[in-house]
Structure 1
Amino acid sequence: MPHPIIRPARTDEYDEVGRVWMESWVSTGLGEASDFLLANLRARVRREIEHGWTLFVADDNGTIAAMLALHLPKLYLDMLFVGPAYQGQSLGRQLLAFTRTQMPDEMYLRCVRENEKAWRWYEREGFVFEKEEVEPSNGFVMKYYRWKRQGPTG
């Protein structure tokens, strides 16, 4: 089975990106699906793009399998969410490898502290924990990470 293709998201896909985002978030056990959450995420996709997101999707023959939001000027991997049907198939690793082509020297991200599966994965992928802070907009404690390309050894 070929991997989904990572490509820039199209404007007409933003609502579907919001749905994939919600379903992935809900799969963490940290939230519940609702029309209210879906509407907020769909609106946030558009708002964040206006504020600098570069949005990509993993396209599996017309089905959006995952979303990846980067803020390239800030070297920030803002969102990486894989739809539940695609989790456990190395799609996250493929998206992270793609991210490293966009920000090859260093990048930053944050992750909800209670989402242990995610932050442990980032640590395994070479991200280094820097600090924790409460995010005022939602009350979650966020773990902040940095990845920096290692120079040649020798």
Structure 2
Amino acid sequence: MTLPTIRAARPDEYDEIARVWMESWVSTQLSRSSDGLLSDLRARLRREIDGGWSLFVADDHGTIAGMLALHLPTCLLDQLMVAPVYQGRSLGRECLAFTRQQLPDEIWLKCVRENEKAWRWYEREGFAFEKEELNPQTGFTMKHYRWRRAQGA
């Protein structure tokens, strides 16, 4: 099995990307699927792109298997979402490797504290916990992580 290709997202894919984002988020069991959530994510996607996101997709022969949103000026991995049917197939690790190509020296990210599966994975991938902060917009406590390239690497 070959892994999907990671490439820049196209505007005509934004609705499908929002759907994959929602399905991945819902798979954490921290939210329920709904038309309202999908609408909010569609709007946020466009707003974040206008605000500087570089948006990428994991393309499996025309099927969007995941999405990756980077804010390059601040070295932020803002979103890494894998569609539930692709979870457990190393696609997240492939997306993270792609992120390290884009941000080779340092990466910051935030992860919902209750999403233990995700933050434990980031810790195994070499990210160091920095702090926790409440996100007043969502009500979730966010764990902040940082990865730095090893000296001499």
Please tell me the TM-score bracket, short chain as reference. Answer: over 0.9
Q: Which amino acid aligns with 1:133?
A: E
**Whole-Å separation in 2 of the counterparts to 1:115 and 1:48:** 22
Identity of aligned residues (%): 69
Asked if residue 87 in structure 1 is aligned to residue 87 in structure 2, the reply is yes
- What SS class does the counterpart of residue 42 from structure 1 fall into? helix
**Whole-Å separation in 1 of the counterparts to 2:82 and 2:26:** 11
- Other-structure match for 2:17: 17
CA drift at 1:152: 2.5
**Whole-Å separation in 1 of the counterparts to 2:21 and 2:80:** 9
Deviation string 1:33-59 (CA, Å, 9 cap, x unpaired) is 000000000111000000000000000
- Other-structure match for 1:69: 69
Q: Give me the TM-score of the superposition, normalised by structure 2.
A: 0.99
CA drift at 1:120: 0.1
**Whole-Å separation in 2 of the counterparts to 1:111 and 1:10:** 26
**Whole-Å separation in 1 of the counterparts to 2:4 and 2:89:** 11
Task: Point out 4+ residue stretches in structure 1 off by more than 3 angstroms.
Answer: none
- Other-structure match for 1:112: 112
Q: Give me the TM-score of the superposition, normalised by structure 1.
A: 0.98
**Whole-Å separation in 2 of the counterparts to 1:31 and 1:95:** 23
CA drift at 1:151: 1.1
- Other-structure match for 2:33: 33
- Other-structure match for 1:125: 125
- Other-structure match for 1:47: 47
Provide the aligned C-alpha RMSD in A: 0.7
- What SS class does the counterpart of residue 23 from structure 2 fall into? helix
Q: Which amino acid aligns with 2:121?
A: W
**Whole-Å separation in 2 of the counterparts to 1:6 and 1:42:** 21
CA drift at 1:2: 1.0
**Whole-Å separation in 2 of the counterparts to 1:137 and 1:16:** 24
Q: How many equivalent residue pairs?
A: 153
**Whole-Å separation in 1 of the counterparts to 2:36 and 2:117:** 26
Could you tell me which runs of 5 or more consecutive residues in structure 2 were left unpaired when the two chains were aligned. none
Q: Which amino acid aligns with 2:107?
A: M
